[in-house]
Amino acid sequence: MRTSIPANLKLGFLGAGQLARMSALEAFRFGIQVSVFSDRSENEPVQFMTPFSISGSFESIDDLVAFAKECDVITLENEFISSQILKEVQQKSGTPIYPSPESFALIENKLIEKQTFEKAGIPVTPYQLITSESDLKSFGEKHGWPYLLKSSKGGYDGYGNETVRTLEDAIKAFEKLGGTKGHDIIAEAFVPFTKELAVQVARNETGSVVYPCCETVQENHICVAVLSPAPVPERHQKRAQELAIKAVEAIDGKGIFAFEFFLTENGEILLNESAPRPHNSGHYTIEGCISSQFENHVRAVLGLPLGATKLNAPAVAMINLLGTHSRSAETDHISNALATENGHLHVYGKVQSKVGRKMAHFTLLGDDLDKTYHKAKELTRNIEI
């Protein structure tokens, strides 16, 4: 456990997007220096905030080792890197990486993730590795059509996912996702669910803390809103929290982790996906909880005592603000949102807007969840980015 914070302590982020940006803001609050590694050609949100920025490739050991040697601790913003590369970088640089390469290896793609949690006794959505046309056919016959085909590595916000309704659809999607080029593709059954839930857990050598169970509202495979606490019976909230803690322990995780669940029509909680980093489902915690997921991300990977996760209000609603134009980013029509008591706007600092791209979010605290959610939607309805 860390008991002091030296002025020159430097925390490095692999990835320089909005998740690293919001974690970096918490690191700055503790007087910690921040360094970022970007694999993008465009300027990313964190690169405007710190003089310590390196661009390179997530596949280059040399690039990553050079970056790691300049940092005291490394952490992740995304999963677009391999555990073997992380392991080599840690060994060659001597810089610790959290979550550890060993933990990351247990969830680094969707197939391994399912196998890890299934082995730990955690219920997961029905799945199968697909290697042939006969697999596509047999999975549909066993679990029903339609079902999902997913790229095992790198998918997000609907990218890398295809809904298939017929064998012809499935064959085309398998090729589109890279199955014919050797990429691992998994099939997942559609689950008859009533709610999509999420729970964040922070864990390190000082212990673990679990956030309230929230509901994620999805449209076209993109989360458009988060409601906390989830409007489901308390027993379901507690069950999701218990499974999230069990999942972190199964990988001996150190850091912040997010878990997405399905609440089925018969009341079962199934683990759908995990993330070894802060997650869109936890953005509401910035104002909604005593310590945000981003603060506990920093605390966890640096070995600091973890902060409390209790809600600051009876109801919290978060609205994702997606790009409405393809243009240089500009957030318009924000007056009503900014003028609202207990309303909080966060703009991520992305230079270029694209339709459907996550550009900002708005969080509203209140006393009644339905009313708070309705008001948050009304306040953000006309915002354009």
- One pLDDT digit (tens) per residue for the chain, 385 residues: 899 999 999 999 999 999 999 999 999 999 999 999 999 988 899 999 999 999 999 999 999 999 999 999 999 998 889 999 999 999 999 999 999 999 999 999 899 999 999 999 999 999 999 998 899 999 999 999 999 999 877 655 556 788 999 999 888 889 899 887 878 899 999 999 999 999 999 999 999 999 999 999 999 889 999 999 999 999 999 999 999 999 999 999 999 999 999 999 999 999 999 999 999 999 999 999 999 999 999 999 999 999 999 999 999 999 999 999 999 999 999 999 999 999 999 999 999 999 999 999 999 999 999 999 999 999 999 999 9
Same domain, 296 and 337: yes
Main-chain dihedrals φ then ψ at residue 263, nearest 5 degrees: -95, 110
**CA atoms of 222 and 243, how far apart (whole Å):** 23
**CA atoms of 12 and 93, how far apart (whole Å):** 13
The CATH number that applies at residue 180 is 3.30.1490.20
Same domain, 293 and 270: yes
Question: What is the widest separation between alpha-carbon atoms in the chain?
Answer: 61
Number of domains into which the chain is organized: 3
Is residue 103 included in any domain, yes or no?
no
Which domain range does residue 145 map to? 126-189
pTM reported for the whole predicted model: 0.94
Is residue 48 included in any domain, yes or no?
yes
Is residue 303 included in any domain, yes or no?
yes
What the block records as the tokens of 212 is 């309230």
Is residue 245 included in any domain, yes or no?
yes
Same domain, 132 and 216: no
What the block records as the tokens of 123 is 């219920």
Same domain, 29 and 131: no
- For residue 106, the SS3 value is coil
Calculate the alpha carbon distances from 168 to 173, 174, 239, 323, 384 in Å.
9, 10, 39, 33, 39
Same domain, 134 and 275: no
Same domain, 139 and 236: no
* CB neighbour class for 61 (10 Å; exposed up to 12, middle 13-18, buried from 19): middle
Give 337's strand partners: none
**CA atoms of 163 and 189, how far apart (whole Å):** 10
Same domain, 146 and 291: no
**CA atoms of 224 and 277, how far apart (whole Å):** 19
Residue type, 277: R
Same domain, 207 and 91: no
> Which of 3, 154, 22, 14 lies closest to 73, judged by CA?
14
The CATH number that applies at residue 46 is 3.40.50.20
- For residue 242, the SS3 value is helix
Q: Euclidean distance between the first and final Cα of the chain, in Å? A: 43
Same domain, 234 and 359: yes
| Contact assessment for residue 276 and residue 76, using Cβ atoms and an 8 Å cutoff | yes
